[in-house]
């Protein structure tokens, strides 16, 4: 895992948030694999900050179920069972495709340019191999699209489910074209939304979310898999 140092002038709360974002992205993407043991002092040296924001960030990650404390050793990255991941994906499939279908029906042309820039950031993250930037841009892209429907509860639920979805195959995808293919789907979605093509927008979201059980989890995908979610 590559960790960049944080600016020492930042306030402690901001440092804590930055450390948590970086570690969260590393865990979600698989850069920090399940079972990996990390210690607060070691991370503090890597981040070039004091131990306090690192310890607080680890406790936050423990509350989210991303790590578990190991006495006298530090924290171990937890694993997510296939069944738990499947359940998260199933709920997302019930929420996100219909949401994008509704957004397409309502009309989307006025917002297309703004969201195209966010999709560009996702593509750039994939091309440069910056998984932290990729995941942050991806979260913002989908959250802001969902927010256009004007239902804060839906936006909160979708964002929460997305933040819990482990994508441990992302790091391995850097060695192939699959991450770029996945990133390109965001522009494809914007095209369907701009055209008012609700059916295609919904089908694409089904396929996109399904990657969590395929590419993004380190598994191969087949044509049959794609057809199964349409």
Residue 199's closest CA among 92, 91, 102, 74?
102
Of 39, 56, 77, the position where a domain reaches its end is 77
- Number of domains the chain contains: 2
Q: Are 68 and 169 within one domain? A: no
Check: CB of residue 75 under 8 Å from CB of residue 67. yes
CA distances from 25 to 19, 122, 163, 202 (A): 10, 14, 10, 27
Number of Cβ atoms within 10 Å of the Cβ of 4: 10
Residue 6 in any domain: the answer is: no
pLDDT of residue 8: 44
Q: Are 102 and 161 within one domain? A: yes
pLDDT of residue 227: 41
pLDDT of residue 57: 93
pLDDT of residue 180: 87
For residues 178 and 101, give the distance between their C-alpha atoms in angstroms, rounded to a whole number.
25
Q: What residues pair up with 69 in beta bridges, in sequence order?
A: 75
Residue 148 in any domain: the answer is: yes
Residue 70 in any domain: the answer is: yes
Mean pLDDT of successive 10-residue segments in the chain (230 residues)?
48 77 87 91 92 93 92 91 89 96 86 84 90 88 95 95 79 78 93 94 94 73 49
Indicate the SS3 state at residue 98.
Answer: helix
Number of Cβ atoms within 10 Å of the Cβ of 128: 11
Q: Could you tell me the CATH number of the domain that includes residue 142?
A: 1.20.120.530
Cβ within 8 Å of residue 35, ≥6 positions away = 76, 77, 79
pLDDT of residue 173: 77
Range of the domain at 65: 12-77
């Amino acid at each position: 895992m590559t960790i960049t140092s944080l600016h020492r002038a930042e306030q402690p709360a901001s440092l804590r948030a930055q450390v948590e974002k970086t570690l969260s992205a590393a865990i979600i993407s698989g850069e920090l694999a399940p079972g990996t043991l990390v210690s607060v002092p070691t991370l503090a040296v890597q981040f070039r900050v004091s131990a306090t924001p690192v310890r607080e960030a680890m406790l936050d990650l423990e509350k989210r179920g991303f790590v578990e404390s190991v006495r006298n050793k530090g924290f171990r990255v937890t694993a997510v069972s296939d069944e738990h991941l499947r359940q998260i994906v199933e709920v997302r499939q019930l929420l996100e495709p219909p949401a994008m279908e509704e957004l397409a029906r309502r009309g989307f042309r006025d917002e297309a340019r703004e969201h195209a820039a966010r999709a560009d950031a996702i593509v750039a993250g994939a091309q440069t191999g910056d998984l932290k930037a990729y995941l942050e841009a991806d979260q913002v892209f989908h959250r802001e699209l969902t927010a256009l429907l004007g239902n804060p509860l839906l936006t909160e639920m979708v964002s929460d489910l997305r933040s819990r979805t482990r994508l441990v195959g992302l790091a391995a995808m850097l060695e192939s074209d699959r991450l770029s293919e996945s990133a390109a789907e965001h522009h494809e979605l914007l095209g369907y939304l701009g055209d008012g093509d609700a059916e295609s927008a919904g089908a694409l979201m089904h396929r996109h979310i399904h990657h969590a059980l395929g590419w993004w989890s380190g598994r191969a995908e087949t044509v049959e898999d794609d057809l199964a979610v349409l």
